[in-house]
Amino acid sequence: MADPVHRRGFLKRGAATAAVISVAGCSDPSQSPPVRTILGEVENLTRRAQRLFAGGHALAPEFTKADIAPVFRANGTLNPGTNDYAIAAAEGFKNWRIKVGGLVEKPLDLGLTDLKAFPPRTQITRHDCVEGWSCIGQWTGAPLSLILAAARPKSTARYVVFHCADPMGEDGFDAAGNLVPAPHYYESLDLLEATHPQTILAYDLNGAPLPVQNGAPVRLRAERQLGYKMPKYIQTIELMEDFSRIGGGKGGYWEDQGYTWYGGI
Amino acid sequence: MSSTGEALGKFDEWIGMVRARLGLRPREPKETYPFYRHTIPVRVLHWINAICMVMMLLTGLQIFNAHPALYWGKSADFDHPILSMTAQGTAEHYWGVTQIGPWTFNTDGVFGVSDTDGVKTVRGFPEWATFPGPSPNLAIGRLWHFFIAWILVLNGLAYFAWVFWSGHFRKELLPTKQNLKDLPHEIVTHAQLKFPKGEAAKHYNGLQRLTYFVAIFVFGPLIVLTGLTMSPTMDSAFPILLWVFGGRQSARTIHFILAFSFLGFFIVHMLALLLSHPINGLRSMITGRFAIEKDDAHG
């Protein structure tokens, strides 16, 4: 499709427009606080209803090699574009570390070889973008449940928050002239979805190391969720009791722009 | 009350004009008696449903605009969509095109490229066909769509419970063998805009039964199920959905086709109302009372 405008820029523009509208106090009823509260409660209702049927362990459908798309569509950040990332990529990510911390008994600091030492899981699954399209690929990675088991979450831990290497947008300055760095992509899952058997930290796509545009060296796969729930370029995994003090407080970069935290529909 | 009467009078006048334009005979006022046609549950559920269906279409198109293309199968073959609404041209000079299968149409101003607040914008469906409107905000469109979906489904389940429990389904909605036999004849009389009168107007005719039956009991559940098939979590709970609809992208396409089938139903529903007994029909869905013309009634 020779469409110059939609695809990815769409989401960012949409978010920007929403921000402009909320500042302008437009008459859109979606912006009024009681309406937002009701719409938010509906998200909880949908999550509970879907969990009633899918539970903790219903598996997302898996496909055959014949179903794999020739090129796995890349979306969102295609390259974090920072100096640190460029150096890491040039080194073949041999010095990339993923730290696991927060509410855990035993914090971890994992390199790619450490990650590959966990018994890997390979799955051919369908990636569903919130925009409406789907793409099928084969992912290999370390089950997140094993990594969490190694880190031993404390009993107060409820969410797994992923901090990523890709800045969203540009650094800027506030009214007082202070530097405001661009927020980085982040996401969160609850422990039920994080310990699902198909939730993996993927390092291979279609039998080869993850390409940069698909999140090299490590991205999350949470196969019962939409694409924005599966962050790329993962650097830190933090177990938390609640995520309200991170970013915009909604549990993820897109959630802060108005998308639902529950991404199962 | 009098202003309502005035408005209805004006409306009746306008209907008369439309009928004259269409070359139809003016309707002569005849002596009538009231017939209690629609029960309270049916009327209440009808109007809730009507509002929900309109909102579902508008918010659905808002969501569709995030990726205005349809595919068939398990995943998206981006180079071969069944339908797409895109922009062609250069950054300075571009226009909207709609592609359906092998055909491409210039749909500038409506599909692909249309005005948003006076600015030529690349978007699938135009602003007026979407809710909440100007901003191409997928997040808010989804919030509304799933909120109204809950009301629509609960309302639909209440309606199903009522029509089965009250016997309305068997008596008025389930097409009979005789209905199916009469169908060709009824299609002809409907096309001639001759509508049932007297005693016959007290019950749904075969064409109505068949249309309502298919819309409510076939398309209704299908549009809900195809919607749920797009949810990755529901696919993990009920993988059979993918088998039934031939994959997530097929389900999305069927969902879209059903939405426009409902739009077609709505247009025919409105035409049938306007061309038969507009005020009478509308009133019967508000107060329940439908005026039956006396001289046509058999006993």
Q: Which residues of B touch A59 (CB under 8 A)?
A: 236
Same domain assignment for residues B146 and B181: yes
> What confidence tier does A1 reach under pLDDT thresholds 50, 70, 90?
very low
Give the minimum alpha-carbon distance from B106 to chain A in angstroms, rounded to a whole number.
14
Select the more confidently predicted residue: B22 or A4: B22
Provide mean pLDDT across the span B192-221: 89
**For residue A138, pLDDT beyond 80:** yes
Q: How far is CA B61 from CA A6, B66, B145, B153, in A?
A: 15, 9, 10, 19
Give the minimum alpha-carbon distance from A95 to chain B in angstroms, rounded to a whole number.
35
Amino acid A26: pLDDT: 46
Name the CA dihedral angle for A241, A244, A247, A248, rounded to a multiple of 10 degrees. 160
Domain assignment of residue B4, yes or no: no
Mark yes or no for CB contact A50/B234 under 8 Å.
yes
Name the CA dihedral angle for B165, B168, B174, B177, rounded to a multiple of 10 degrees. 120
Q: Is B68 on the interface with A (CB under 8 A)?
A: yes
Q: Which residues of B touch A223 (CB under 8 A)?
A: 232, 236
**For residue A5, pLDDT beyond 70:** no
Nearest to A147 by CA among A117, A123, A167: A117
- Name the closest residue on chain A to residue B67, using Cα atoms: A131
Domain housing B105: 69-129
Nearest to A40 by CA among B140, B155, B58: B140
Give contacts of A 193-232 with B, CB under 8 A.
Answer: 223-226
Distance CA A260, CA A5 (A): 24
Ranges of each domain in chain A: 60-256
- Name the closest residue on chain A to residue B87, using Cα atoms: A3
Tens digits of residue pLDDT in A56-93: 889 999 999 999 999 999 999 999 999 999 999 999 99
Q: Which residues of B touch A29 (CB under 8 A)?
A: 132
Q: At residue B38, what is the residue type?
A: H
Give contacts of A 31-60 with B, CB under 8 A.
Answer: 38-39, 42-43, 45-46, 50-51, 53-55, 58-60
Which of A4, A51, A58 is facing B87, going by the closest CB pair?
A: A4
Mark yes or no for CB contact A1/B138 under 8 Å.
no
Amino acid B4: pLDDT: 65
Same domain assignment for residues B206 and B230: yes
Amino acid A13: pLDDT: 43
Mark yes or no for CB contact A17/B88 under 8 Å.
no
Provide the token pair at B55: 């909102």
Number of domains in chain B: 2
Tens digits of residue pLDDT in B268-299: 999 989 988 889 899 999 999 999 887 544 43
Q: Is A2 on the interface with B (CB under 8 A)?
A: yes
Q: Which residues of A touch B235 (CB under 8 A)?
A: 60-61, 224
Q: Is A16 on the interface with B (CB under 8 A)?
A: no
DSSP A55-91: TTTPPPP---GGG--SSPPP-S-S----HHHHHHHHT
Which of A21, A128, A133 is facing B232, going by the closest CB pair?
A: A128
Mean pLDDT of chain A: 90
Same domain assignment for residues B43 and B172: yes
Mark yes or no for CB contact A126/B252 under 8 Å.
no
CB pairs under 8 A between A and B: 163
Considering the domain A60-256, what is its CATH architecture?
Alpha-Beta Complex (3.90)
Give the minimum alpha-carbon distance from A87 to chain B in angstroms, rounded to a whole number.
33
Same domain assignment for residues B38 and B145: yes
Amino acid A28: pLDDT: 65
Nearest to A217 by CA among A229, A228, A205: A205
Mean pLDDT of chain B: 91
Same domain assignment for residues B41 and B169: yes
Amino acid B297: pLDDT: 43
Same domain assignment for residues B238 and B138: yes
- Name the closest residue on chain B to residue A5, using Cα atoms: B122
Q: Which residues of B touch A61 (CB under 8 A)?
A: 235-236, 239, 242
Give the minimum alpha-carbon distance from A242 to chain B in angstroms, rounded to a whole number.
23
Same domain assignment for residues B224 and B277: yes
Which of B66, B91, B143 is facing A10, going by the closest CB pair?
A: B66
Pick the last residue of a domain from B99, B129, B159.
B129
Which of B74, B135, B252 is facing A17, going by the closest CB pair?
A: B135
Same domain assignment for residues B79 and B188: no
Mark yes or no for CB contact A260/B88 under 8 Å.
no
Q: How far is CA A163 from CA A143, A167, A184, A230, in A?
A: 18, 10, 7, 11
CATH number at residue B51: 1.20.950.20
Tens digits of residue pLDDT in B160-183: 999 999 999 998 899 888 888 888
Q: What is the ipTM of this complex?
A: 0.88
Mark yes or no for CB contact A61/B150 under 8 Å.
no
Whose tokens are 């005005």? That residue is B115
DSSP A220-258: EE-TTS-GGGS-SSEEEEEEES--TTSTTSSSSHHHHTT
Amino acid B136: pLDDT: 66
Q: Is A71 on the interface with B (CB under 8 A)?
A: no
Same domain assignment for residues B282 and B138: yes
Pick the last residue of a domain from B80, B98, B129.
B129
Those residues with Cβ within 8 angstroms of residue B283's Cβ, 6 or more apart along the chain or in another chain: B289, B290, B291
> What confidence tier does B80 reach under pLDDT thresholds 50, 70, 90?
very high
Mark yes or no for CB contact A265/B94 under 8 Å.
no
Cα angle, residue A37 at apex, residues A33 and A39 outer, rounded to 5°: 115
Q: Is B86 on the interface with A (CB under 8 A)?
A: yes
Same domain assignment for residues B203 and B112: no
Mark yes or no for CB contact A132/B66 under 8 Å.
yes
Mark yes or no for CB contact B235/A60 under 8 Å.
yes
Same domain assignment for residues B200 and B139: yes
Is the previous residue joined to B81 through a cis bond, with omega within 30 degrees of 0? Answer: no
Tens digits of residue pLDDT in B47-58: 999 999 999 999
Same domain assignment for residues B100 and B154: no
CB A198 within 8 A of CB A225: no
H or E element at residue B105: strand B103-106
**For residue A17, pLDDT beyond 70:** no
- Name the closest residue on chain B to residue A256, using Cα atoms: B139
Q: Is B43 on the interface with A (CB under 8 A)?
A: no
Task: Specify the 3-state DSSP secondary structure of B100.
Answer: strand
Which of A46, A58, A258 is facing B140, going by the closest CB pair?
A: A258
**For residue A7, pLDDT beyond 90:** no
Give the minimum alpha-carbon distance from A88 to chain B in angstroms, rounded to a whole number.
32
Amino acid B180: pLDDT: 86
Q: At residue B114, what is the residue type?
A: S
